[in-house]
Amino acid sequence: MTVAERLELDDMQGLILRGYRDLPAACFVLLAVKDAAAARGWLAGLVPQLTSAGTRPAGSAINLAVTMPGLRALGLPSEVAHTFPLELREGMVTEHRGRVLGDVGESAPEHWLFGGPATPQPHLLLLLYAKDEAGLARLLDAHANAPGVTELHRLPSTDIGEREHFGFRDGISQPRLAGIGGTGVGDDQAVSAGELVLGYRDEYGLYAARPLVPARLDPDAVLADDVEGSGERDLGRNGSYLVLRQLEQDVPGFWQFVDAAAGEDRTALAAKMVGRWPSGAPLVLSPDADDPGMDRARLNAFRYHDQDPQGLRCPVAAHVRRTNPRESLDPDPGSDASLAVGKHHRLLRRGRSYGPRLPIEQALHDGHDGRSRGLYFVCLNTNLARQFEFVQQTWVNSPKFAGLYDEPDPIVAPGGSFSMPAVPVRRRVTGVPRFVTVRGGGYFLLPGVRALRWLASAGVAEMPNTSSPVGS
Amino acid sequence: MPYQQALTVVAPLRDGERAALDADLAAAAAGRNGTAVPFAELTGVHFARLFVLDAATAADGTRTPEQLVWMSDVDAPLERHREQLAERAGPALDPLFRHCQGYPEQPDDAGRRAYLDSHTVHEATFYVNTIGRGLDQVLLEQRLRDALERYLDEHRDQLAGLDSAEVRERLRRFVADQPQLQVALEPPQPPGIWFRARETLHMVLAPLLLVLLLPLILIGLPIFALLLRLHERRDVPDERPPDDRHAEQLAALEDHSIQNPFIAAGSVKPGRFRLLTATVVLWIAGYFTRHVFNRADLAGVKTIHFARWVFLDGHRRVVFASNYDGSVESYMDDFIDKVWWGLNAVFSNGVGYPRTRWLIFGGARDERVFKHVLRRRQQPVQVWYSAYPDLTARNLRNNQQLRAGLAGGMNDRQASDWLARL
């Protein structure tokens, strides 16, 4: 059940509340801690400069996330490290998680540019946003070469507008925090804060697993008390778990495939695969042609079972229908119960595109230009197993989604068939290849501001076993 | 046509044999779909598994050694299955069961058979996704579906302008022309008359018995409720997460196909009250799985092929086993979101379960603790076989309705809905 709570916005990093759309220049920087004490000193200076959710950023924004190895490198005591959920402690790269996330074959971590076994382990993720490239350059100068840390890898984004590289408007459907910006609890897209922010009640009315610190390790009471009353201090509160994936998009491969399969109707086929037209108009509301003038409020104002139970408009296998099935799944498609179950699996997306835009005409005729392009996928959630991993495994990658047989996500999963229900007979496209390849990734904690202050504090350094490689 | 049955064989290990058995099980599991054991040569086996149940100390202090367990979901008659197990699978099973107490040194068919019989444990409750849908039917209906899909792919242009009833007619004619598929035009044979008579009798007599006992029940119910609340208040949920090694072991065996086996074992809470409650609840659950939830839908959960509950170790432990579609995460979410009440009624009689109220409330709704408990109770399934590892229960249901829709007359609207299954 969705509940609205008062949120401590000043203690939350701004990314939870904002995608910083008005700061189109962005770069993500992966850092490694070289000297724990120096890095903590740098962190202590950085924390006041971080952009919180409490104030709208003017001109630039800085946020910071940290991996489990990063926390250990900063000196996190092992007894605190053990309180993190398993997904974070194991990280994105395990043999089993490869099957869950579909990181196999060309997407396997051994080929990754970062976060895989072939490259150094990232510790910190600096997320920098500015109004323009000059402003971004200033941010990079100021923060990327800091004492105690070294830069491992830079993920520079490209402002290609609202449409992602395949040419479709992205980021339309997002879960909204109940109680923020007039979002009522009865809204289809509203979720309890605890689904996206740690330390608040989630849709079950419970508090997601999060790191806790014994009170003796926080003598200055920097951290908030555990809201569940354990007597420990909450290192997770106002934070979130951040997923980063570099998803390389094969734009010529995509457009040439739909062209070969549908000829003149290539855009219609592509729209069927996505579930929206290039303008973002949903197929459920505009089944036969794009409707670029559609009112923004309508773009997300639809349900599947109610308006299109058989998928005659938006195929069941389409990308947006399976990444957010709304009220269309069991226990009782079309019901509030199904909508409520769906709310346990929402993700807040904060990605940015990278690489130069390749116009569709050029993709069709000239093919590959040798440039890498795609999406730095970023999402936030509080239960990686139930949210990000569930969506990836059970909805996106599963060829069996919602009763299908052999139809994984036609856009982002590694290939299968794709059918479009029609009367009297469905159309089926077989041999859909892989259009998206994973090139890197990792699981991070996007800590609250107080949590970062505690991590930067000398208190952490004085703890025993600061450099013990626990769990490795 | 057959109905489905469950076979459970439980054999205690000899002291010190665990490591050797684990190695032999790993060898038998090579290739994951149980290549060393000739499952596919055993008639009518839908699913089968072999695993080692950890040693346990029950709530009353009784120790049980490690046990090797065989489980299969198989078409009746069980008699034939046992015979084939001894004869056809015997040579593959000998190297595994030789680690068990009392297994014949020089096993022959009769010796194996006697051993299997004497170590068979009858399940308390058996859930079958669709009662009476035998393996042959499953495989026939999948061949039918594949053929129809191919036909549509090849003839789409000729069919596109026709109305739905006409398309259906063409598909029926196509099926009639296929010697291997013709039989699908007829409805499947229902299970035999004796089975149906027995089930009908059970369906009627069980509630009748309850009506007869109603005065007693009415008197007993308040006492039961009082005792229940007293017990629930004393319950101690075990909130610890599973240890990392255990979680890794489980994960290593999961998600190799779209189906997964699940097995969890737990001790019944001490005292007669909880055992009695568990027994009665499982008996009621058995009534519902036999007569109500027997058509592909377990109160909104459509991903379970087979499941069973078995009392072990003189009713000190309960083992829950199932074959389900998708990930363990989605499976546990289904438990929490859709059938929490049923899970609570059964599992809350087990040690460490999250606290329930009035038997069915609370419990599984405590997501984190519930998942921890389930994962901690879960055991790796070393050897596992599925006769149709690429098909979900929803696929099977759709195939079945596809086949059913070949028979009889349909108007255009009905034909259109039927064609939507393809």
Cα–Cα distance measured from residue A428 to residue A424, given in angstroms and rounded to the nearest whole number: 13
Once rounded to an integer, what is the mean pLDDT over residues A319-340? 95
ipTM for the complex shown: 0.95
Q: Tokens at residue A186, please?
A: 């009865």
> What is the per-residue pLDDT across B138-177, written as a single tens digit (0 to 9) for each?
999 999 999 999 999 999 999 989 999 999 999 999 999 9
Residue B380 to residues B36, B59, B126, B260, Cα–Cα distance (Å)? 18, 23, 21, 11
**For A204, which of B167, B251, B365 is closest by C-beta distance?**
B365
Contacts of A141 (CB under 8 A, 6+ apart): none
**Would the pLDDT of A273 be above 60?**
yes
Residue among A82, A92, A330 with most chain B CBs within 10 A, to mutate? A330
Rounded CA-CA distance B283/B214 in Å is 17
pLDDT band at A122 (very low <50, low <70, confident <90, very high): very high
Q: What is the DSSP string of A235-293?
A: SSTT-EEEEEEEEEE-HHHHHHHHHHHHGGGHHHHHHHHHSB-TT--BTTT-SSS--TT
pLDDT in tens, A53-97: 999 999 999 999 999 999 999 999 999 999 999 999 999 999 999
Q: What is the pLDDT of residue B62?
A: 86
Average pLDDT value over all residues in chain A:
94
Choosing among A90, A230, A390, A400, which should be mutated to test the B contact, i.e. which has the most B CBs within 10 A? A400
Rounded Cα–Cα distance for residues A64 and A13 (Å): 8
- pLDDT under 50: residue ranges of chain B: none
Residues in B 257-296 with any Cβ partner in A closer than 8 A: 258
For position A469, what pLDDT does the model report? 40
- Contact (CB<8Å) A330/B300: yes
Indicate the range of A388-402, A450-464, B370-384 predicted with least confidence: A450-464
Closest CA to A59 of A47, A69, A51: A51
> Taken in order B144, B145, B149, B155, is the CA torsion positive or negative?
positive
Q: Locate B246 and state its tokens.
A: 């255990």
Total number of residues shown for chain B: 422
Strand-strand pairing, A240-249 and A224-225:
unpaired
Interface of B with A in 140-159 (CB under 8 A): 149, 152-153, 156, 159
Mutate to test the interface with A, among B255, B331, B339, B341 (most CBs of A within 10 A): B255
What tokens does A245 get? 């994936």
CA dist A459 and A470 (Å) reads: 19
pLDDT value of position B32: 52
Q: How far is CA A189 from CA A177, A244, A343, A377, A413, in A?
A: 9, 23, 8, 20, 25
Q: What is the pTM of this model?
A: 0.96
How far away is chain A from the Cα of B254, in angstroms, using its nearest Cα?
A: 8
Average pLDDT over residues A417-426: 96
pLDDT of res. A458: 63
* pLDDT for the residue A367: 85
pLDDT at A470: 40
pLDDT for A468 equals 42
The gap between the terminal CA atoms of chain B, to the nearest Å, is: 26
Please write the tens of the pLDDT for every residue from B60-83.
888 999 999 999 999 999 999 999
Q: Check whether A467 has a pLDDT greater than 50.
A: no
| Closest chain A C-alpha to B248 CA, distance in angstroms | 9
Chain A touched by B163 (CB under 8 Å): yes
The reply to whether residue A393 touches residue B325, judged by beta carbons under 8 angstroms, is no
pLDDT of residue A466: 42
For B75, other C-beta atoms within 10 Å of its C-beta total 24
Distance from chain centroid for Cα B291:
16
Q: Tokens for B325, please give them.
A: 């579609």
Burial of residue B234 (CB within 10 Å: 0-12, 13-18, 19+) is: exposed
The partner residue sitting opposite B252, judged by closest CB among A96, A340, A344, is A96
Nearest to A198 by CA among A169, A227, A158, A159: A227
Q: Which residues of A touch B395 (CB under 8 A)?
A: 400, 403, 405
Between these two residues, B160 and A461, which has the higher pLDDT value?
B160
Distance from CA of B26 to the nearest CA of A (A): 18
Count how many residues are written for chain A: 472
Give the nearest chain B residue to A408 (CA atoms): B258
> If we measure between CA atoms, which residue out of A308, A324, A329, A335 comes closest to residue A420?
A308
